[in-house]
Structure 1
Amino acid sequence: MADGFIRWYRESAATSVFAQQVELFAEQGIVLPHPVRGVPFVLDVEGEQVPMEQEELGLLLGHRIADITMTWWFSANTNIIDTFAYEPLGCEIQTLWLDGLTFEEAARVEAAVTVAATKLPVPTRAVIVDRRGISDPEDWDSLVLYDGDRVPRIPDVVLTQSHIAQKLAEASTGLARQEAGAGLWQLAWPRTE
């Protein structure tokens, strides 16, 4: 079983919206620079933290040439690992890992992504919130990126465009569905615990 995650699919913009995302996340108490050291960190291939200036990180993300894994911070000791990836179909994918976070911290990450998904000028295709890690993040690629018909195991919440929301509604019973703004629908499954 995978760890809990939030997977955010959004269209690639002509210019990066990373700086705006940093501001929106900060409003939820999630900051990019380390609270003590004052600089952002990316993870190298061995998982070691490497300091990088925010402008340089934004530039690399804007070039969309490689996957980048970085950290967001609640405090000097509590972080969120976030991997940015780019698909050839013009989609940016962020996977934020929720393992090691308290319920409240995970809820704040979810709120930050939801706010950013509805406020950023770049359209969001989908946000998958799987707090328990019932599915794997990549399980959602077929449905979201390639208009596939296979619906992965049921997550906690999905924020998505209407055509994907319709597929999920057809494949699930008891699904709560409401408009979320910015052309997105929020779908939640009933708790089975």
Structure 2
Amino acid sequence: MSDGFVRLYRRDWTPARVRRRVDSLAATGMVLAYPGTGRITAFDEIGEQVEMFREELLAAMAAVGDKHFTFRYWLEDDPDATVIASVRRVGGDVVVEEYSLDGFGGPVYRKGQDTVIRRLLAEFRATESAIGLIVDRWGPSGEDDQDDIVIGGPARVTVVPELMVLRPDIARRNWASSELVPHGDFLAHDTDGILTLAG
């Protein structure tokens, strides 16, 4: 099993942009409603499932504060596959969307993880207000204060995830230029060839 995650950091988290994110993921087959029943679920503070209507969930996503709002996506092409997601504010106007890679375990974990990572790389590229992306297949880099790193605070990378895509000034604070590759307006530190999934 994996405790990995993908974190997408962005600004301008408005109700319209929340809807756009959910609709964009749905177009790739990553949907809020369980394909068999149409049921949509979020999770309360103690991890209990709470059934919600779509508009109710979108409103809760848009109104998020500094505590995680956690909910579930389903993969239409694999009714047993679920992606637990959460959103929360990271100071001022930055929101982090976190997508769990947990459950994509066993000998084919990469194939399962990659179906999620590929979608989120495309979302990152399509997000005009994106400021950073982290992919950690196993989760240990979560020990760092990644929020502070991405927004440009004093924290530094000490546990390196497989992929970090950061604004150039922040990336150069953590790695030599020879260890970085361009990715749009960003620089990436990619130890696992994850950017090749972006096509």
Fold-level similarity (TM above 0.5) = yes
Matches within 5 A, 1:42-57: 42-57=42-57
Q: TM-score normalized by structure 1?
A: 0.83
User: Structure 1 vs Structure 2: percent identity of aligned residues?
Assistant: 24
Query: What amino acid is aligned across from residue 161 of structure 1 in structure 2?
Result: R
What amino acid does structure 1 have at the position aligned with 2:125?
T
Inter-partner Cα distance in structure 1 for 2:111 and 2:192:
20
- Give 1:154 deviation, angstroms: 0.9
Task: Give 1:138 shift.
Answer: 5.5
| Aligned mate of 2:91, from 77, 85, 88 | 88
* 1:52-103 residue CA offsets vs partner (Å, 9 max, x unmatched): 1111111122223453100111243221111111123211012211111132
CA RMSD of aligned residues (A): 2.4
Aligned to 1:128: 134
Greater CA drift, 123-132 or 140-149:
140-149
Alignment match of 1:153 (pick from 146, 155, 159): 159
Could you report, residue by residue, the CA deviation over 1:117-165 in whole angstroms, capped at 9, with x for unpaired residues? 11133x1111110102231166312211342242131110112222222
Q: 1:177 aligns with which of 162, 177, 181?
A: 181
Q: 1:103 aligns with which of 104, 107, 110?
A: 110
Alpha-carbon spacing, 1:53–1:142, altered in 2? closer, same or farther (3 Å): same
Tell me the equivalent position of 1:73. Answer: 74
Gaps in structure 2 of 5+ consecutive residues: 194-199
**How many correspondences in the alignment?**
185
Answer whether contact 1:17 1:120 (CA < 8 A) is retained. Answer: no
Question: Which residue of structure 1 lines up, in the alignment, with residue 149 of structure 2?
Answer: 143
TM-score (norm 2): 0.81
Equivalence for 1:117: 124
Say which structure is richer in helix.
Answer: 2
